[in-house]
């Protein structure tokens, strides 16, 4: 075969991508990457100093993918080092520790830092994000449950995985899903699929579930003022029931939110004349 034709075919099949890991210090970013690339786990904490860089090759369908992995340090101290490395990424692994709520709450600020550093280049639609709810092996200390993490991720169009770098749970599924989504995106002209279409629930449903989870009492949960009338309670209830009914809403946590709303209405109506 003509060597130029052969070269062009090979070029179409091979792909180079850059991925980065983000999340608070000590959540397990380096261990997740080590578990995948080296099939081992190191229990001793060795903080990443600034950035660790590695290359690996993976196969997605008929394409060979050369993956450049930039493993970021989570400690604020290394901000000046890592801020150089956000640009030109096709994939981001966002990691939090299911036993540390602040590491989950910090995910938004990691996205903000990333957007800031990418500046005018910040086209988040051309990046695949996966969220790792890590250290799921430590069940007793878990404080962020699956539906909460999944809702945060999926409402942004990000894939969600429960992982343990220690046991290996979810790690290869996560990387396979991640690399195949990046390949799909590259083959789709560099745009990821529309999240509203692929996730099957709306931002209003996601925001309502989040609001219900963090409400302080039954009034707050139904979104009515303390001392509201039966009519006001019933009206608010009906609106939420339509929005969150499990037959209509597939958002993570919708079933629990729906039950909580039913209970809130029952307990309020008991005390309203």
Q: Least distance to Mg ion from the beta carbon of 53, Å?
A: 12
Residue 30 interacts with Mg ion (CB under 5 A)?
yes
CB of 37 to ligand GTP, least distance (A): 13
Choosing from 7, 10, 16, 45, the residue that interacts with ligand GTP (CB under 6 A) is: 45
Q: Which of 19, 20, 22, 48 binds Mg ion (CB under 5 A)?
A: 48
Report if residue 30 touches ligand GTP, rule: CB under 6 A: yes
Mind giving me the DSSP string for the chain? Answer: --HHHHHHHHHHHEEEEEEEEE-STTSSHHHHHHHHHHS----S-----SEEEEEEEEEETTEEEEEEEEEE--SGGGHHHHGGG-TT-SEEEEEEETT-HHHHHTHHHHHHHHHHHHGGG--GGG-EEEEEEE-TT-GGG--S-HHHHHHHHHTTT-EEEE--TTT-TTHHHHHHHHHHHHHHHHHTTS-PPPHHHHH-S-HHHHHHHHHHHT-SSHHHHHT--TT--HHHHHHHHHHHHHHH-TTT--STTHHHHHHHHHHHHHHHHHH--
Binding region for Mg ion (CB under 5 A) out of 25-33, 99-107, 152-160, 175-183? 25-33
Q: How far is the CB of 158 from ligand GTP (least distance, A)?
A: 18
Residues 163-222, interacting with ligand GTP (CB under 6 A): 164-166
Instruction: Pick the closer one to ligand GTP by CB: 41 or 219.
Output: 41
- Least CB distance from residue 43 to ligand GTP, whole Å? 5
Q: Which does 166 bind (CB under 5 to 8 A by kind): Mg ion, ligand GTP, none?
A: ligand GTP
Site residues for ligand GTP, 133-152, by CB under 6 A, read: 134-135, 137-138
Exactly one of 63, 75, 211, 213 binds ligand GTP (CB under 6 A); which one?
A: 75
Which stretches of the chain bind Mg ion, using CB under 5 A? 29-30, 48
């Amino acid at each position: 075969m003509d060597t130029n034709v052969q070269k062009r075919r090979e070029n179409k099949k091979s792909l180079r991508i850059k991925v980065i890991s983000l999340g608070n210090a000590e959540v397990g970013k380096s261990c997740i990457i080590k578990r995948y690339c080296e099939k081992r786990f190191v229990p001793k904490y060795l903080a990443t100093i600034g950035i660790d860089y590695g290359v690996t090759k993976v196969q997605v369908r008929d394409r060979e993918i050369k993956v450049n992995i930039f493993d970021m340090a989570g400690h604020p101290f290394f901000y000046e080092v890592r801020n150089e490395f956000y640009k030109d990424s096709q994939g981001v692994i966002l990691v939090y520790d299911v036993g540390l709520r602040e590491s989950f709450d910090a995910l938004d600020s990691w996205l903000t830092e990333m957007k800031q550093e990418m500046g005018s280049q910040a086209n988040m639609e051309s990046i695949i994000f996966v969220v790792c709810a890590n250290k799921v092996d430590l069940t007793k200390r878990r404080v962020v449950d699956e539906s909460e993490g999944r809702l945060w991720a999926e409402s942004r169009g990000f894939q969600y995985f429960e992982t343990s770098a220690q046991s290996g749970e979810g790690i290869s599924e996560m990387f396979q899903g991640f690399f195949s989504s990046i390949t799909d995106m590259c083959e789709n002209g560099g745009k990821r699929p529309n999240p509203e279409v692929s996730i099957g629930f709306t931002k209003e449903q996601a925001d309502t579930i989040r609001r219900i989870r963090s409400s302080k009492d039954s009034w707050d949960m139904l979104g009515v003022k303390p001392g509201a009338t039966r009519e006001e309670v019933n009206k608010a209830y009906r609106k939420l029931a339509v929005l969150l009914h499990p037959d209509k809403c597939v958002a993570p946590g919708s079933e629990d939110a729906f039950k909580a709303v039913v209970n809130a209405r029952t307990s309020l109506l008991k005390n309203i004349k």
